[in-house]
Amino acid sequence: MKLSLDACEVLDAIDRKGSFAAAAAALYRVPSTITYTVQKLEEDLGIIIYRREGRRSILTPAGKVLLEQGRELLKAAQSVVENAKQVDSGWESQINISLDTIYDVNELYKVIEAFYKLNTGVEVNITEEVLAGSWEAIVERRTDLVIGAPSPQANLQGIKFEEIAVIDWQFVVGKNHPLLEYRRPLTEEDTEPFHSIIIKDSSKKSPPITHRLFEKQTVLRVASLEQKIAAQIRGLGIGFLPTHRISNQLKTGELIALPINKDAPVTPVFMGWHMNNKGRAIRWFIDKLRQ
């Protein structure tokens, strides 16, 4: 084979780290080894992978194809290793869990704490998603298990999902917000002058989901629920927040719940996984979350 997994790994590292020197450091090699690997690959394949622009090395179109498809080879190779280890021990070597931003990570940490007591040696990787991005992560197999996702918007072929909780929300403002002086319950006319804070859907390809309840206001978009909570505490805008995530802020008075002439949303949240995923660790997490 003229194309080795090692060469694919080198190209991947150069692209991720931004330079040959940084790739060498990441792979614990000397820079000359990285340069030689690329030159040897160009010679073996008869193509130019990088062209020089001043001091920079830029991927050619052929180099980009090699990088992208080489990454697919690396993923496939990792999958082979994973399958072999799973057959040997019954446990995956690692699992990926995507947490929707609405879900309290401390609840997941309790589950992980119990999992670690099993001493399986399985590595757990956690990422955060928002709304449709949660389902996109499982559909594209970037994750093995999604937790806290909203109601599925489309037919998710091959994916099993179950409702795990129902979330209620409250309309809240910061302790010094002007709306505290308004007559209650608030109306849409009262809230119109203030920014509406919404969390941006993290999906890249799927149609985004939005729970924007205030249509007339200008919008401040943030990346996570933590950012939304912090923004509302500072008085940067208004919006509904899930009760279970702001109990401390309501107790301390950082956030104040106000009655409003608009129905507070009640939203079910789900966990989802691929039905053909028979990994022992994933099944353990699913069973634990069902409890």
Q: Where are the domains of the chain?
A: 5-88, 94-164+269-290, 166-268
Q: Residue 211 — pLDDT band, cuts 50, 70, 90?
A: low
Contacts of the segment 232-235: beta carbons below 8 A, 24+ positions apart: 232/172, 232/173, 232/174, 232/197, 233/174, 233/175, 234/174, 235/173, 235/174, 235/176, 235/177
CATH class of 5-88: mainly alpha
Contact 36, 44 (CB under 8 A): no
Residue 125's alpha-carbon distances to 58, 109, 269, 281, in angstroms, are: 32, 12, 21, 12
CATH number given to 166-268? 3.40.190.290
- Omega before residue 185 within 30° of 0, cis: yes
**Predicted pLDDT of residue 225:** 95
| 263 class by beta-carbon count within 10 Å (0-12 exposed, 13-18 middle, 19+ buried) | exposed
- Tell me what percent of the residues of the chain surpass a pLDDT of 90: 74
Note whether 5-88 and 166-268 share their fold. Answer: no
Q: Per the confidence metrics, is the pTM higher than 0.85?
A: no
d(C-alpha 86, C-alpha 89), whole Å: 5
The mean pLDDT of 184-213, rounded to a whole number, is: 84
What confidence tens digit (pLDDT) does each residue in 14-35 have?
Answer: 999 999 999 999 999 999 999 9
d(C-alpha 212, C-alpha 227), whole Å: 16
Least confident of 225-239, 240-254, 257-271: 257-271
Four-way CATH pick for 94-164+269-290: 2.70.98.10, 3.30.1360.200, 3.40.1160.10, 3.40.190.10? 3.40.190.10
The mean pLDDT of 231-255, rounded to a whole number, is: 95
Q: Determine the Cα angle at 9 with ends 8 and 13, to 5°.
A: 120
What confidence tens digit (pLDDT) does each residue in 81-120 have?
Answer: 877 776 677 788 899 999 999 999 999 999 999 999 998 8
